Amino acid sequence: MSNLYIKHATIVTPLGNEAVKGEDMRRLNVIEDGAILIRDGVIRYVGNSNPLRHIYSIFGHGATFREIDAKGRVVLPGFVDSHTHMVFGGFRPDEFRWRLQGESYMSIMERGGGIQSTVNATRDLSGADLVKNAERLMDRMISMGVTTVEVKSGYGLDFNSEAKMLAAIGQLAAKCRIEVVPTFLGAHAVPAEYKGRTSEYVDLIIEKMLPKFRKAARFCDIFTEKGVFEIEDSRRLMKAAAAMGYKLKFHADEIVQLGGAELAAELGAVSADHLLHVSNEGIRALADRNVVATLLPLTAFALKEEFAPARKMIDAGCAVALASDLNPGSCFSGSIPLMIALACIYMNMSVEEVITALTINGAAACCLADRKGSIQPGKDGDVVILDFDNINMLPYYVGMNCVRTTVAKGNVVYDSNL
Ligand code: NIG
Ligand code: FE
């Protein structure tokens, strides 16, 4: 049943249908003792907790609906995790250990480990097993309040294996009860069989993969990085993707400052992600061209890198989103609570900014801000009910989950009480 009446809630939400930039990220709408009515999965009413006449006019006489008393609890829009690689085969704990002993992420990649080792394991796995593994991770994400998740391909790196990954993402979308946004990331690395022939691999993506995957993926993404896909290859590939109707995302300026942010802005990308080493010009370009700056603090933490300059970006007028980057290599974590704590403690983001980053700006990074990311009539009935009545509990409760209930399109998809 997707009819739901939430009453006596402290509703905290950003407002609007687009990314929120700069100092506006601090502005949240608060309704004390609030009510939310969700009919057929869509929010129909948000207001005070005495909506009796609205209940009958919205649900109709005799209609059935579930009721949740949220007294003493904050209700937020469902979290949008706008950057994950949660479909994959195998794990890389040895690589993590090598990194702790001092080896760098890129040097492991250069000697054939890293992404390539997940590519080998993913090619060996059936589509059904890929889906089964991802479902387990998905359940955890939902328990931390995630109601929309972007999922990338990029561990296939040949036509059939990328097709298998995108099909698995499609099956995951059909099976799980939250929104899944599929992204094609054929340009995640140059596969071993094309080593030294980057430009030929780019040709393969442009000529064979992009035209065939247009229906299965809404976005095209690329790892724009020194020694992987540098600026000219990235520009060529992403221009071709845009011409075929893909929306663009970039892994930009993650390991070194290469100008990925500037390229994302030049090509009108929806988001530029990572940005640990973004230049001042890059920050300016993202702010001016309305490219969402998606920051991934769990990855910086797991790689022992400096965090992205979130404060500088927000102060420069960027729209910042936060996402997990959940993947088997650089960041095997999808911990929303830890991400929130890192963003507040080390990136100097306020709790209000973090909420905006994880809701409306995440939705904008998925081109879904017209439907997701705020608690307003007409939007999908996606909300998170916290255990507490105060948003300051979110970073204070370091790394611990304080989600009581997750609601996606009016359905309770997680409840810590059950
Ligand atoms: O976003 N840097 C490129 N891609 C992923 C890591 C993928 C992996 O290590 O398997 C990232 O960090
Ligand atoms: Fe990533």
Q: What confidence tens digit (pLDDT) does each residue in 96-116 have?
A: 999 999 999 999 999 999 999
DSSP E strand stretches across 63-208: 66-69, 74-77, 79-81, 146-152, 179-187
What φ, ψ does residue 236 adopt, rounded to 5°?
Answer: -60, -45
The Cα–Cα gap between 24 and 356 comes to: 9
What are the pLDDT digits (tens) for 282-327? 999 999 999 999 999 999 999 999 999 999 999 999 999 999 999 9
In 3D, which of 311, 318, 281, 334 has the Cα closest to residue 79?
334
3-state secondary structure (DSSP) of residue 283: helix
Is the per-residue pLDDT at 1 higher than 60?
no
Is the per-residue pLDDT at 95 higher than 60?
yes
CA 43 to centroid of ligand 2, rounded, Å: 32
| pLDDT, mean over the chain | 96
Is the per-residue pLDDT at 143 higher than 80?
yes
CA 297 to centroid of ligand 2, rounded, Å: 12
Shortest-distance Cα residue to atom 5 of ligand 1: 330
pLDDT the model gives residue 388: 97
Percent of the chain with pLDDT over 70: 99
In 3D, which of 74, 127, 133 has the Cα closest to residue 326?
133
Shortest-distance Cα residue to atom 2 of ligand 1: 223
What are the pLDDT digits (tens) for 344-364? 999 999 999 999 999 999 999
Across 81-95, average pLDDT = 98
| AA letter at 418 | L
The Cα–Cα gap between 156 and 153 comes to: 7
What are the pLDDT digits (tens) for 228-257? 999 999 999 999 999 999 999 999 999 999
CA 318 to centroid of ligand 2, rounded, Å: 20
What are the pLDDT digits (tens) for 360-408? 999 999 999 999 999 999 999 999 999 999 999 999 999 999 999 999 9
pLDDT grade for 55, boundaries at 50, 70 and 90? confident
What number does the ligand 1 atom closest to the CA of 189 have? 3
Shortest-distance Cα residue to atom 8 of ligand 1: 329
> Phi-psi category of 41—alpha, beta or left, where left has phi over 0 and alpha has psi -120 to 50?
left
